[in-house]
Amino acid sequence: MDMTFMMKLLSRVALALSLSAVSGGALAESGQVSSQDASKQFVIDLGIGAIAKPRYEAADSYLVYPFPIIAVGRFYVPGLGQVVDGRRKSGVFFYPSFNYIGERKASDSSDLTGTKTVDWALELGLGGGFRTNHFRAFAELRQGINGHTGQVGMVGLDGIIYPSEKWEVSFGPRADFASEDYMDTYFGVSASEAANSGGRLTAYSPSAGFKSLGLAARASYDWNDDVRLHLQGGYDRLVGDAADSPIAEGGSKDQFSLGVGVSYRFAFDLF
């Protein structure tokens, strides 16, 4: 393995990590490959976007966050060959799943009066599913680090349509679930927090389960062979123990998001 190969590999790994650390809910899935890139070992779309979403779960105020875009069209592993091949529009696919949750403080909203600060959290995991030309089913599972140490996941279904040669539009339902550790961190209220809230909050201990149900949609436009523009939006309704939390009662159970982004396609050989 020569130095040129190592530098090429490290530079691409560094770029992927720098984008994935930005946060805000990543857009990551299998990408489609054009005929001109079909001979390359690796075809990866990398980009960045901005999304408006609630300041924290159950908040009724919004902030704009950056988020990464990663789509793997082709991926080669020595000894195994082409483990991802986006020339096929049907079959099983896998992708990295990650999310970043910013610090939550009592000063963020009067609805949080008396609550303790929740440190930032990084969630890392995997997603996978099955797709055809006009349908996609998938699931994600992530492990929390730092701010919470629970597990979170999502299952979803998408219908996929192609209004024209350059457009791809997908839309469908989503269901998010979380472990007890996650639910207690973001929706629980301890006795001391309730006492410090001045009567705004009551003690509450949620259990694991589904925390929201919703819908998501995304439209992508091929500006040219390498550049792709993205628009995505979503709606989630808090359910179960998350919806019954005093924090949600003071904020909003209806959560909306709207984001835009741009990605660039890298096609290259390493081996």
The tokens describing 142, both together, are 């992530």
Q: Work out whether the CA dihedral 81, 124, 5, 86 comes out positive or negative.
A: positive
The 3-state DSSP class for residue 166 equals coil
- In angstroms, the CA 82 to CA 41 distance is 7
Pick the closest to residue 52 from 78, 17, 25 (CA basis). Answer: 25
The residues facing 47 across adjacent strands are 69, 263
Three-state secondary-structure class, residue 218: strand
| 127 alpha-carbon distance from chain centroid | 10
Q: What are 193's two structure tokens? A: 């927090």
- In tens, the pLDDT along 58-111 reads 999 999 988 888 887 787 888 877 766 665 567 888 777 888 899 999 999 999
- What pLDDT, on the 0 to 100 scale, is given for residue 90? 78
Is the Cα dihedral 120, 211, 109, 67 positive or negative?
positive
Beta-bridge mates of residue 99: 123
Measured in degrees and rounded to the nearest 5, phi and psi for residue 33 equal -115, 130
What confidence score (pLDDT) does residue 33 get?
61
254-268/209-222 β-pairing? unpaired
Residue 7 is predicted with a pLDDT of 45
Residue ranges in 90-226 assigned as alpha helix (H)? 180-187, 191-196
249 alpha carbon, distance to own chain's centre: 25
CATH architecture of structural domain 19-268: Beta Barrel (2.40)
Can you give the pLDDT at residue 87? 56
Say how far apart CA 139 and CA 128 lie, in whole Å. 6
Q: Can you tell me the distance from the alpha carbon of 141 to that of 177, in angstroms, rounded to the nearest whole number?
A: 9
Q: In the prediction, which pLDDT does 24 show?
A: 37
Tokens matching residue 247: 């924090």
pLDDT for 145: 97
**Ranges in the chain, pLDDT < 50:** 1, 3-25
At 44 the pLDDT is 87
Which element (helix H / strand E) includes 260? strand 254-268
Q: Give pLDDT, residue 80.
A: 75
pLDDT for 13: 39
| Contacting residues for 17 by C-beta, under 8 A, at least 6 apart | none
pLDDT digits (tens, 9 = 90+) for 45-64: 899 999 999 999 999 999 99
Q: Domain map of the chain by residue range?
A: 19-268
The neighbouring-strand residues paired with 268 are 42
